[in-house]
Amino acid sequence: MILTLILIAIGALLLLVIIYNILQQYRHQQEAEKRTLMLRHKNIINETDELLLNASQLPFSKALVLVLYQRILSSLQIMQQQDPKNPQIQTRIANIKQQIAASSEQPQNSSNNLTPPESDRHAIQLLQLVKRLRTVLRIEHNKGKVNNQVLVNEDRRLELMRLKINLMNLIKRTTQALSNNDLHLAQQFLTKGIAVVDKVTDKDEQLTNIADKLQQKLEEISSSKQQIEQEQQARAKEKEKSDLDVLFEPKRKW
């Protein structure tokens, strides 16, 4: 009888140990998942903050700014659910809500004018920024945070920005080719740019001006090449005439 009681006690103790270990593992797993979730949303907030800091480089629309602010707010609210007593999260949520309210009251930015990139490296940075913004828009749309019309409008605005960056950089490369007296390369750049921009049916004023500038430069190059060819032909005729004069000039008598 005593042996039976001892065995039962040992079995109960082992069961308690097993249950305790299971609970500990579950608690550790929950904490690990919480840390992973908090880190993921912290990274989302940092990434979105970085995008907002670049608003001076690209003409962000009101709708795009609100999408980015709402993205930060959504992540902060998820973090608050995991850590409801964190005062830093509470303060940041209050600040973001104020920024959303202020941005909502701002008039719509109708200008899509883009400042030309300063260098090839700057152009690449702007293109990467446009790509990241388009990716964020699609992610938020997939989450149901951005409606179809906003996605279509903003994605098209960003696509036209990408086109402008490439065309502005192409104009800069054309200027460099002209400074090197490489008219053929400059003509190739301009012809390529015109072919691309001619396919755009919804040009804004800046894109139209870029298209006009490309066409003007191409006409100037064509005129320069024509002038050069005429000068070369004139020199060739003059040389041919000189050669004929030498051939048929009166022979001297000795």
Distances (CA, A) of 174 to 7, 72, 115, 188, 214: 91, 42, 18, 9, 10
For a pLDDT cut of 90, what percent of the chain falls above it? Answer: 46
pLDDT at 253: 47
Judge whether 104 and 81 are in contact, CB under 8 Å.
no
Cα 151 to its chain centre, rounded Å, is 15
Q: CB neighbours of 130 closer than 8 A, spacing ≥ 6?
A: 58, 158, 161, 162, 165
Residue 118 has pLDDT above 50, yes or no: yes
- pLDDT tens per residue across span 139-195: 999 999 999 999 999 999 999 999 999 999 999 999 898 888 888 898 899 999 999
Stretch (H or E) spanning 44: helix 2-53
Domain ranges (residues) in the chain: 7-53+60-103
- pLDDT tens per residue across span 202-220: 888 899 999 999 999 888 8
